[in-house]
Amino acid sequence: MSGPVYNFAYLNEQTKRMIRRAILKAVAIPGYQVPFAAREMPMPLGWGTGGVQVTAACLTQDDILKVIDQGADDTTNAVSIRKFFVKTAGIATTDVTDDATIIQTRHRIPETPLNENQILVYQVPIPEPLRFLEPRETETRKMHALEEYGVMHVKLYEDIARFGEIATAYDYPALVNDRYVFDPSPIPKFDNPKLNNSAALQLFGAGREKRIYAIPPHTKVKSLDFEDFPFSLPKWDKPCAICGSQTSYLDEIVMDDQGGRMFVCSDTDHCRKTQALK
């Protein structure tokens, strides 16, 4: 019995070359969205087809892959993408952040600081930070060309005028290498400081929108803010209910019908590690 035969990491070699060329351009122009000819993948758009294509173009046989969805290794999206690469590339996988060489992520940056031998691949739904402010691609392209980012500050100002603070809690826009305003994908703004001066290469893939962008290691990434309303991080009253971590990003979990709530680490590997230390 023989199953279907795949090329290594599913994509054909010509597609990988096209994606690799786009990745190299993206690294050379940090924060700029490089158009690429995204292929149809055997999973629906919105399930991380952009991240999957970037990962497929980067994978070698020696890589150890970790896939997370909202910080967890055991959620549907993470499990199916991990299985996809085991099936089509035969590579090793891990849940442990430190052991991974490529980490594909949906909407979180691991709590464990990354090292320079790691690549973090983000799944991006809407790569254009200005899209909800200006729907026309021709216009947003011009705005990036002219560094015309005033409208983004107006949006943040309107937050302050309405709510008394910058209410944007995820997808928080940042300026890369003092040039391009970029969309860090829907990571919580809690993770934005980890984008800055990271030791690892960060690659972003948007499959439906057909864009790839990158932040090389040791690159300045500054979250947009105002002098009198500086960028601030969310805080929790209690530590993680399982591991007791006071520094990690917590998810709120509904426990019962009586309004019981529990706050636990969103990063399952970090939570496990902290428990083991206790």
Least CB distance from residue 205 to other proteins, whole Å? 14
Least CB distance from residue 234 to other proteins, whole Å? 28
CB-based contact 104:86 (threshold 8 Å): no
Q: Which residues contact 135 (CB under 8 A, 6 or more apart)?
A: none
The residue annotated as part of the active site, out of 3, 150, 240, 259, is 240
Question: 245-263 burial, b for 16+ CB within 10 Å, e for fewer?
Answer: beebbbeeeeeeeeeeeeb
Nearest residue (CB) to other proteins, 54 versus 166 = 54
Residue at 91: amino acid letter: I
Is residue 243 annotated as part of the catalytic site, yes or no?
yes
Nearest residue (CB) to other proteins, 5 versus 161 = 5
Structure tokens given for 207: 């499959």
Q: Give the single-character DSSP code of 254.
A: E
Is residue 271 annotated as part of the catalytic site, yes or no?
yes
Is residue 31 annotated as part of the catalytic site, yes or no?
yes
In angstroms, rounded to a whole number, what is the distance separating the alpha carbons of residues 91 and 9? 9
Nearest residue (CB) to other proteins, 7 versus 247 = 7
The residue annotated as part of the active site, out of 3, 31, 164, 205, is 31
Nearest residue (CB) to other proteins, 41 versus 203 = 203
Least CB distance from residue 220 to other proteins, whole Å? 8
Give the H or E element holding residue 182: strand 180-182
The residue annotated as part of the active site, out of 3, 48, 243, 260, is 243
Residues that bind other proteins (CB under 8 A): 2-9, 13-14, 16-18, 20-30, 32, 34-35, 57-61, 87-90, 141-142, 144-146, 177, 179-180, 201, 214-220
CB-based contact 202:120 (threshold 8 Å): yes
Angle made by CA atoms 257, 263, 268, in degrees to the nearest 5: 120
The residue annotated as part of the active site, out of 48, 50, 71, 265, is 265
Is residue 58 annotated as part of the catalytic site, yes or no?
no
The residue annotated as part of the active site, out of 71, 205, 207, 271, is 271
Angle made by CA atoms 134, 140, 144, in degrees to the nearest 5: 135
Least CB distance from residue 28 to other proteins, whole Å? 4
Residue at 235: amino acid letter: K
DSSP 113-140: PP-TT-EEEEE-S---TTTTT---HHHH
Least CB distance from residue 227 to other proteins, whole Å? 26
Q: Give backbone dihedrals phi and psi of 217, rounded to 5 degrees, phi first.
A: -60, 155
Tokens 């952009």 belong to which residue? 50
Nearest residue (CB) to other proteins, 83 versus 87 = 87
Nearest residue (CB) to other proteins, 14 versus 258 = 14
Least CB distance from residue 228 to other proteins, whole Å? 30
Which residues are catalytic, by number?
A: 31, 240, 243, 265, 271
